Structure 1
Amino acid sequence: MTTVNLALGTMHFGTRLDERSSFDLLDRFVAAGGTMIDTANCYAFWSDPSGAGGQSERVIGRWLARRPGVRDRVYLSTKVGAEPIGAGEWPGNREGLSAPAIKAAVQDSLRRLGTDRIDLYWTHMEDRVAPLEDTVGALADLAGSGTVGRLGCSNHPTWRVERARQIARSNGWAGYTALQLRHSYLKPRPDTPVPGHDHRFGWATDEVVDYVHSDPELTLWAYTALLNGAYTRADRPLPEAYRHPATTRRMAALTEVAGELGVSPNQVVLAWLAGGDPAVTSIVGVSDATQLDEALAGVALVLTDEHRGRLDAAG
């Protein structure tokens, strides 16, 4: 069966989405050739009365336990660094990226997921209190022991990513080979707040895309690729930050290409990301089978050079 360049986002599994619905989506995803499942140890602390995360990992763990053999067919991706601990308000009370925090968090994630390894382990938010050498060393220890496979970072400034990779290289350690950032076809105005986005360095800027393009070791994963439904749903308008001339031109091109291909704008966006250079792995959170099928069809769509060129030139 052909695998697909799409990660199933499971942020709301076990909170907004009940276990049965979560299991159904996981089953449908794997049956369609999906392998990459993305979660985090902090999902979704803001939706749970306990104020703690771990619900998504627990649901995935129970799903795996009831489906013998499936673990070897999927690629588990989870994160460390943003789980709230103790008193205080988030993000001031997050666990951070000290060596002890990483080592404790990975064991908790393994237990909740019911597995002995994590295929891709992300540092979720940067931590400028913990020495970067300690963070990089702790991650390298996990990779060296086989507890985790690849290492990635989410919502980090590019200079910190490269500094961490230089530390790893100079010590002969495993280092970051993946970036996870917010990325889509439409872009907000620079330096303009976007409601619901808390990460200062959480955007895949042109510099980031060029950085990934220049290094064949790096891959880019994109979250919020479909802008929370704004491409297709009238009840999900774009935030004010996206209201500028380039958006008007890009939406016109997107609508034209989607109409010519007989597909949805969402599918064109996912095809544009998956078929780009560098190819981008979109993380798509869905709540029903229709949304999942649309996403799967989107990453399977191959844009012609003419269509891609028109999309690229529109703004």
Structure 2
Amino acid sequence: MTPVTLAPDLRVSPICLGTMTFGEQVSEADAHAILDQALALGIDFLDTAEMYSVPARAETYGATETIIGRWLAQRPGVRQRIVLATKVAGPSRGMPWIRGEQAGLTKAEIIAACEGSLRRLRTDVIDLYQIHWPARNVPMFGALAFDPSKDKPCASILEQLEAMDTLVRAGKVRYVGLSNETPYGVHEFVRLAEQHGLPRVVSVQNPYCLINRSYENALDETCHRLGVGLLAYSPLGFGLLTGKYDDTGLAHAGPPQGRLALFESMRKQRWGRPEALAAARR
């Protein structure tokens, strides 16, 4: 695979292995086998998050990072061969076990979250540390319209960048990125970083596929003009674009191993909507 350059000394395989199913529908043994096979095929870019496994539960908080950490510990030298990305969760979205309901992604919260990820991953440094979703109120995870009445107090973008700067200066993070962000958010993170001499985001991880092309609505121009890379997640539309689901979100045939088939809660979310299934069939 021809590497892709996210930053001068951050080159990654063009395919990144997402791991949010590890620890829920994928056992640790299977996860380790998948990781081994990915590395053998030239995929050296791994992405995870502190809140994984998904669907999120208090009992499996941090499970995916823990599984990856054990995989790394059992394979001396592999850590130097991969680019490891993880994410700090934003303010609670029905997950009070992650810093409580009132958390606003403060500097102290970001630093503490990073320390926890480093311990679970059994590594001294995270190559790409991303903010999983914005601290401020924005339409995301399938929502379309901005509603200012939903605004709540939260840490400023500047404070979040200062937290990242502390981690970069301490050698615990190499580069920083965003996820589920808007054009405004990406622009503000870049503007404030340049204005205050803080770490500049190198990437944004947002959905992009045939049934979710919201990236093309202004975020594409923002990333192009600011030199911010896109890490496209759910490129197969959560599996909908493989054709394996019927119009209810259940598997057509065979064991019900897909996430929509396994977890009823997921059939009620964006990828399980009737409109999404209809669009995928087209």
**TM-score, structure 2 normalization:** 0.73
Task: Establish whether residue 184 from structure 1 lines up as the match of residue 209 from structure 2.
Answer: yes
Q: 2:40 and 2:187 mapped to 1: Cα distance? A: 37
1:240 aligns with 274
| Equivalence map 1:229-308=2 (5 Å) | 229-237=239-247, 239-242=273-276, 251=282
| Equivalence map 1:124-273=2 (5 Å) | 124-128=132-136, 129-187=154-212, 203-215=214-226, 217-237=227-247, 239-242=273-276, 251=282
- Describe the shift of the 1:24–1:175 C-alpha distance in structure 2 as closer, same or farther (beyond 3 A): same
- Describe the shift of the 1:24–1:52 C-alpha distance in structure 2 as closer, same or farther (beyond 3 A): closer
- Describe the shift of the 1:54–1:204 C-alpha distance in structure 2 as closer, same or farther (beyond 3 A): same
1:194 aligns with none
Deviates more, 1:153-162 or 1:219-228: 153-162
Determine if contact 2:104/2:155 at 8 Å carries over to the other structure: yes
Q: Determine which structure has greater relative contact order: mean sequence separation of CA pairs < 8 Å that are 6+ residues apart, divided by chain length.
A: 1
SS at match of 2:215: coil
**Gaps (5+ residues) in structure 2?**
4-12, 137-153, 248-271
1:127-167 deviation line (CA, Å, top 9, x unaligned): 13112211111112212222111111111222122112211
RMSD of aligned C-alpha atoms? 2.9
| Equivalence map 1:49-88=2 (5 Å) | 50-51=58-59, 53-82=61-90, 88=96
- Describe the shift of the 1:161–1:29 C-alpha distance in structure 2 as closer, same or farther (beyond 3 A): same
Q: 1:86 and 1:236 mapped to 2: Cα distance? A: 29
Shift of 1:241: 3.0
Partner AA of 2:26 in structure 1: L
- Describe the shift of the 1:90–1:138 C-alpha distance in structure 2 as closer, same or farther (beyond 3 A): closer
1:110-129 deviation line (CA, Å, top 9, x unaligned): 00000000000000111131
Q: 1:183 and 1:167 mapped to 2: Cα distance? A: 26
- Describe the shift of the 1:117–1:236 C-alpha distance in structure 2 as closer, same or farther (beyond 3 A): farther
Number of residue pairs aligned between Structure 1 and Structure 2: 232
Q: 2:110 and 2:99 mapped to 1: Cα distance? A: 17
Shift of 1:230: 1.7
Q: 1:115 aligned to 110, 123, 148, which one? A: 123
Partner AA of 1:208 in structure 2: L
Q: 1:29 aligned to 33, 38, 43, which one? A: 38
Q: 2:161 and 2:116 mapped to 1: Cα distance? A: 19
Shift of 1:95: 4.5
Partner AA of 1:212 in structure 2: C
- Describe the shift of the 1:92–1:182 C-alpha distance in structure 2 as closer, same or farther (beyond 3 A): farther
- Describe the shift of the 1:146–1:174 C-alpha distance in structure 2 as closer, same or farther (beyond 3 A): same
**TM-score, structure 1 normalization:** 0.66
Partner AA of 1:241 in structure 2: E
- Describe the shift of the 1:43–1:7 C-alpha distance in structure 2 as closer, same or farther (beyond 3 A): same
1:78-103 deviation line (CA, Å, top 9, x unaligned): 00024859985989727542100001
